[in-house]
Structure 1
Amino acid sequence: MIAVPTVTRPAALASEEESGPVSPAPDELTDAELGAGLARGDPYCLALAYRRWGGLVHTLASRTIGDAREAEDVTQQVFLAAWRGRHGYRPDRGPVPAWLVGITRRRIADTLAARTRRAALVAAAGAALPPPSVAADAPDQLLDRLVITGELARLPRVQRDVLALAYFGDLTQAQIARRTGMPLGTVKSHTRRGLQRLRCRLVAGATTVPGEPAPSRWADGTEPPMGTLRASGARTLRDVREDA
C-alpha cells in the first residue's frame, strides 16, 4: 500500500522564505490545477486526488472484481501507478478522473488475469498429487487429505487458493506471490487469516471460526482423526505457518 500524505501543507512551505507564490489551499484547487500539481510531483496533489476520486476507483474495482479486499488492493495500486507515472499525464488528453479510470481498468484486468492464473495453478497442483499410498497407513493418510481438502473448500476463495498452493503445491509465500502476481504482503495476510480459520477447525475438530466456542468433536459427534494435520506428500500446517 502507498502512504497517502495529508493535504495540509507544512507552515514552512508558506513562509516568507519560500521562493515563488504560495499555492492555494488544497480544497480550493480545481481539477486542472490538481492535475498540473500532480504532474509536477506535488505529493499534496496526490493526497487530494486520492480524497476526491479514491471512492470512484474503489467502486469500479469492487463492482468488477466482486471482492472487497482485492478492490482495496487495486485502489492502492492505481494511485501508486498514478504517482509513478505522473510525468506521463497530459491534461490535453483528458481530465484527471478519466486518466485514473483508465489506470483502474488496466489494474482490474491484471487482477482478473491473476485470478485465472491462480485457479489454473490450484487445479494443476491438485492434478499433480501422487495417488494414495498402498502402505498400511494409507487409509489414515487418505482420510487426512480428504479432511484438509474439505476444510479448505470452506474458506474464502483467495485464502483457499493461497493455502492450496502452499499445502499441495509446496510453494513458499514468495513463490506464491511471484506465480499469482499478488503482492507478498497480500499473500501473507491471506495465509495468516486462512490458517487461523483452518487451524481452528482442524485442531479443535470444530465447525467454528476464531472468536466462537469450539467443541471438541465434529458436528456428527465423532472425534477428529489424530493425523488430521498430516497429508501424504503434502506440507503440514506447521510448515505453512513458519513461512508466514
Structure 2
Amino acid sequence: MRSVEKQRRTEHGDEADALLGRVAQGDENAFAELYDAWAGRLLALIIRIVIDRSQSEEVLQEVMLEAWRRAPSFDPSRGTGRAWLVTMARHRAIDRVRSSQAARDREDAWQGYLPDSDVTAAEVEDRMEAGRVRDALDAVGEPHRTTIALAYFTGLTHTEIAERMGVPLGTVKSRIRDGMAKMRAHLGEQR
C-alpha cells in the first residue's frame, strides 16, 4: 500500500514538474491545468493553517500568482513541483497568520489609549485638563474651594456668593483671588 501511495505522489510531483516547466515558458493553458490540479489541495492546507476560509482563498490566489511569476526559477533538481507549491502555500499561510495577529495586537494596544472609538484627541486632552483643574481645586482646600466653585461653576455673582455663604463681599473676593493664586501655583507644579 505504501508503494502505491508513493507512486501516486511521485506521479503528482512529476505532473507538477511538467506543468511548472510549461508555465515557466508562459503557457497559460498549463497554468490553468496547474491551478485546476493543485488549487483544492493547496486550499485545504492553507485552511488548516489560517482557519478563516475567505483569508485562505486570498492566500491561495497569492500563492498561485507567485507560482506563475516564479515558475522560471523552479528547479526540479532541487525538489519536486509538489514540494515547491506546498512550501510556498505553507509560508504564505503562516505569514498571513502572523500579519493578522500583529494587526490584532496593534488594535489592542490602541484600545488602551482611546477608551471609546468616538473620542477625539481634543476630547482626551480636555478630559486630562479638567482632571488637573479638579486636582488643583481640591488642593486649595476650604473655604477657597467652595467660593471658587460657586463663582465659576454656578454663575453666581460675588454678592450672591457672599449672601449664600454669610460672609462679607470683600472676604469672597479675597478667597477667590487667593484660591486662584494657589490653583495657578498648583497647576504650574504639575507641568
- Provide TM-score, normalisation by structure 2: 0.52
Asked if residue 233 in structure 1 is aligned to residue 120 in structure 2, the reply is: yes
Given that 1:82 and 1:100 are in contact with CA atoms closer than 8 Å, whether structure 2 keeps it comes out as: yes
Deviation at 1:87, TM superposition (A): 1.3
Given that 2:67 and 2:85 are in contact with CA atoms closer than 8 Å, whether structure 1 keeps it comes out as: yes
Given that 2:17 and 2:82 are in contact with CA atoms closer than 8 Å, whether structure 1 keeps it comes out as: no
Tell me what 2:156 maps to: none
Q: Distance in 1 between matches of 2:15 and 2:119?
A: 63
- Residue by residue over 1:151-200, the C-alpha shift from the partner in whole angstroms, topping out at 9 and shown as x without a partner, is xxxxxxxxxxxxxxxxx4xxxxxxxxxxxxxxxxxxxxxxxxxxxxxxxx
> Which has the higher relative contact order, 1 or 2, with Cα contacts under 8 A spaced 6 or more apart?
2
Q: Distance in 1 between matches of 2:43 and 2:35?
A: 11
**Structure 1 portions without partners, runs of 5+:** 1-28, 132-144, 146-167, 169-230, 235-244
- Alignment partner of 2:68 out of 79, 83, 88: 83
Classify 1:80/1:119 alpha carbon distance in 2 versus 1 (closer, same or farther; 3 Å): same
- Alignment partner of 1:99 out of 84, 95, 99: 84
- Provide TM-score, normalisation by structure 1: 0.41
Alpha-carbon RMSD: 2.0
Classify 1:45/1:61 alpha carbon distance in 2 versus 1 (closer, same or farther; 3 Å): same
Classify 1:82/1:31 alpha carbon distance in 2 versus 1 (closer, same or farther; 3 Å): closer
Deviation at 1:105, TM superposition (A): 1.2
Classify 1:30/1:108 alpha carbon distance in 2 versus 1 (closer, same or farther; 3 Å): closer
Tell me what 2:101 maps to: 116
Asked if residue 49 in structure 1 is aligned to residue 34 in structure 2, the reply is: yes
Q: Distance in 2 between matches of 1:52 and 1:45?
A: 10
Deviation at 1:30, TM superposition (A): 4.1
Larger Rg belongs to: 2
Deviation at 1:82, TM superposition (A): 0.8
Deviation at 1:232, TM superposition (A): 2.7
| Residue type of the alignment partner of 2:25 | R
- Residue by residue over 1:17-40, the C-alpha shift from the partner in whole angstroms, topping out at 9 and shown as x without a partner, is xxxxxxxxxxxx944431210121
Asked if residue 68 in structure 1 is aligned to residue 53 in structure 2, the reply is: yes
Classify 1:53/1:126 alpha carbon distance in 2 versus 1 (closer, same or farther; 3 Å): same
Aligned residues: 108
**Structure 2 portions without partners, runs of 5+:** 1-13, 122-191
